[in-house]
Amino acid sequence: MPLEKPAFLNVTASATGRRWIGPTQEEDRLSEAMAQVVDLPAPLCRTLVKRGISAEQAADFLTPTLRDLMPDPRSLRDMAAAATRFLQAVSQKQRIAIFADYDVDGGSSAALLLTWLREMGRSATLYVPDRIDEGYGPNDEAMAALARDHDLIICVDCGTLSHSPIAAAAAADVIVLDHHLGGETLPPALAVVNPNRQDESGDLAHLCAAAVVFLMLVETNRQMRNTGHKGPDLMAMLDLVALATVADVAPLTGLNRAFVRQGLTVMARRQRIGLTALADVAGLDQAPTGYHLGFLLGPRVNAGGRIGKADLGARLLATADRHEAEGLAARLDALNTERREVEQQVREQAMEQAEARGLDGPLVWAAGEGWHPGVVGIVAARLKEATNRPAIVIGLDGNEGKGSGRSVTGIDLGAVIQRAATEGFLIKGGGHKMAAGLTVARDQLEAAMDHLGALLEKQGAAHIGPADLRLDGVLMPAAATVDLVQQIEAAGPFGAGAPAPRFVFPDCQIKFAKQVGANHLKVSFSDGIGPRIDAICFGGMDGPIGPMLVGHNGARFHLAGRLEINTWQGRQSVQLRLEDAAPAH
């Protein structure tokens, strides 16, 4: 049996109970070798090595171009047919309806189509189903009604498993632009463009639905050029693709990384009225980053679909009316505040229930009467983060429960839920590896969860230990400059599949530590040689880190986290987003 690698800085149980794991000897060797070849700081070289980038590839990686990474849209099945039919509807002034999912990806996908059509002098009917009354995806009644009044229905971020609803829309042509896991058979649509169809190669499986819609618009513009016409500027629409990619937690690698980098540049120009209004109401006073998309803008766009009117987010992203944008942004901001309050109540009850059931099985789950369907997904994510296990949270209403699940790396929750639905344990269910939704009969709840647990156990979900904290090395306060952070950010954007590097400031003295806001921790620290560095630990007072550092009594600590630039009144400084700490014995 191989010897376990020594814990980094000998931290076997940090404040959060985690073992610290440092770079491997191979990573150290490659980082040092790269630093000798390229004119880049050692911490950035470590980040590049972690990404599998060689010294020869470094320059291209740090300045990726969309042109080099863009696939031929026609490499996806049905793409040419979808673009041709869409263009036909536009040129013949046919009536178009867009049926969109109620989350950020669905809203962004719809906004891409609406923006493109508006620039062509056309419009479309937007239909977003109500999360509570209609649930996820197309339903027979809505699709049949749309088909009576429209010639073409485009389903975005949904539809791949909607056999019956699409059959109910037989009076119109239907195009599906989606990324959710496909079944063995496809619905009776004119075209189903989805990189996660079972007959696809999987090369583009990491794309969100908005990226699939963008590729269809690329193909549409290409077909227009072939007839001597010019389509709308697609590069200016990459802000929507970036927002959807980050909010849908798609891995920020390859094409997705290029989409998000370029999209952030577009967003910084503040030309999309809806996003500008949302950024202002959220207090975003600097150029946006991936963090802002995921934690400031995304949740607000989502708030309408979670606990408000389902189409608010898509309407905000698509609007060209400044007054409408400001009104929608204010409404979504208020709904987001309400959503947080509802979420906290459900989270406390769900965690209590899950703990009573046991947190060491292959599946952590909770179900409660009247839990709002709009927050069960967020609460499932919190359970997953707290336990490092796949988690499902279900709101019960009448004879059914509607739930949402989140998974951990290496465990395919979407496939398991889809299989359980096929086997009759669930009324319906589907999704992708990391996130999925389901509907279950109340009297089948325990049996269904037991079955899902058994399927997840076969994937090894019961044997995942506490998540180790992986660290990219040691950094001294004197080396943590704004310039360094900016250089490291060139390896981003960071997020799912491409985590930001995490460094440890060793043997530091706490200069002050205090609670800020409801439960956050603000810290200032120094090693006694270099400058002081400020740190923020969100939610730190709810866990063990806050009390430990506030009551430091002069002790010294190793402090671990990710570097960021804090902008205050136009001045920039380095800040540590503190994630863990351990006494420096």
Mean pLDDT, the chain, whole residue set: 94
Residue 174 has pLDDT above 60, yes or no: yes
Residue 450 has pLDDT above 70, yes or no: yes
What is the per-residue DSSP string for 198-231?
TTS-STTTT--HHHHHHHHHHHHHHHHHHTT---
Q: Among residues 428, 463, 498, which one ends one of the domains?
A: 463
Higher pLDDT, 5 or 132: 132
pLDDT, one tens digit per residue, over 265-284 is 999 999 999 999 999 999 99
Sheet-wide strand order for 364-369: 364-369, 391-397, 400-406, 435-441, 428-431
Residue 509 has pLDDT above 90, yes or no: yes
Tell me the C-alpha distance between 61 and 328, whole Å.
Answer: 38
For residue 487, tell me if it sits in a domain.
yes
Q: Among residues 463, 485, 518, which one ends one of the domains?
A: 463
Q: Among residues 416, 432, 463, which one ends one of the domains?
A: 463
Smallest CA-to-CA distance from 181 within 433, 456, 452, 459 is with 433
In this prediction, what percent of the chain has a pLDDT beyond 70? 99
pTM for the complete prediction? 0.90
266 and 210 housed in the same domain? yes
Per-residue confidence (pLDDT) for residue 535, from 0 to 100: 98
CB 522 within 8 A of CB 534: yes
Smallest CA-to-CA distance from 218 within 98, 110, 82 is with 82
For residue 63, tell me if it sits in a domain.
no
For residue 342, tell me if it sits in a domain.
no
Smallest CA-to-CA distance from 102 within 154, 158, 175 is with 158
306 and 272 housed in the same domain? yes
Tell me the CATH number at 441. Answer: 3.10.310.30
For residue 571, tell me if it sits in a domain.
yes
Smallest CA-to-CA distance from 526 within 505, 546, 542 is with 505
Tell me the C-alpha distance between 308 and 128, whole Å.
Answer: 12
Question: 429-460 burial string, b = 16+ CB within 10 Å, else e?
Answer: bbbbbbbbbbbbeeebbeebbebbbebbeebe
Question: Rounded mean pLDDT of 443-450?
Answer: 97
CB 145 within 8 A of CB 153: no
Question: Rounded mean pLDDT of 185-199?
Answer: 97
Torsion of CA 9, 28, 493, 231, to 10 degrees: -160
What is the per-residue DSSP string for 242-266?
HHHHHHTT---SHHHHHHHHHHHHH
Q: List the structure tokens of 178.
A: 């989606």
What is the per-residue DSSP string for 512-544?
EEEEETTTEEEEEEE-SSS--EEEEETTGGGSS
Residue 522 has pLDDT above 50, yes or no: yes
292 and 391 housed in the same domain? no
220 and 254 housed in the same domain? yes
Angle between helices 104-119 and 238-247 (to 10 degrees): 170
β-bridge partners, 61: none
Q: What is the DSSP letter of 51?
A: T
Residue 4 has pLDDT above 80, yes or no: no
319 and 290 housed in the same domain? yes
228 and 212 housed in the same domain? yes
Tell me the C-alpha distance between 147 and 138, whole Å.
Answer: 12
Q: List the structure tokens of 297.
A: 């803008």
150 and 33 housed in the same domain? no
* Structural domains in the chain (count): 4
157 and 260 housed in the same domain? yes
263 and 291 housed in the same domain? yes
Residue 370 has pLDDT above 80, yes or no: yes
Question: Rounded mean pLDDT of 374-391?
Answer: 93
Q: How far apart are the first and last CA of the chain?
A: 30
Tell me the C-alpha distance between 78 and 160, whole Å.
Answer: 13
For residue 399, tell me if it sits in a domain.
yes
Question: Rounded mean pLDDT of 455-475?
Answer: 89
Q: What is the DSSP letter of 359?
A: S
Question: Rounded mean pLDDT of 101-127?
Answer: 97
367 and 442 housed in the same domain? yes
Residue 177 has pLDDT above 70, yes or no: yes
Tell me the CATH number at 107. Answer: 3.90.1640.30
- Residue ranges making up the domain that contains 214: 70-333
What phi, psi does 75 have (nearest 5°)? -70, -15
pLDDT, one tens digit per residue, over 231-257 is 999 999 999 999 999 999 899 999 999
CA distances from 144 to 133, 139, 160, 168, 173 (A): 17, 9, 17, 5, 12
- Mapped to the 3 state alphabet, what secondary structure does 300-356 carry? HHHHHHHHCCCCHHHHHHHCCCHHHHHHHHHHHHHHHHHHHHHHHHHHHHHHHHHHH
Per-residue confidence (pLDDT) for residue 446, from 0 to 100: 97
For residue 203, tell me if it sits in a domain.
yes
Residue 1 has pLDDT above 70, yes or no: no
Tell me the C-alpha distance between 377 and 381, whole Å.
Answer: 6
117 and 50 housed in the same domain? no
Question: Rounded mean pLDDT of 130-153?
Answer: 94
Q: pLDDT-based confidence at 3, cuts 50/70/90?
A: very low
Tell me the CATH number at 522. Answer: 2.40.50.460
Tell me the C-alpha distance between 507 and 106, whole Å.
Answer: 47
For residue 1, tell me if it sits in a domain.
no
For residue 65, tell me if it sits in a domain.
no
Question: Rounded mean pLDDT of 386-403?
Answer: 94
201 and 277 housed in the same domain? yes
Tell me the C-alpha distance between 502 and 47, whole Å.
Answer: 9
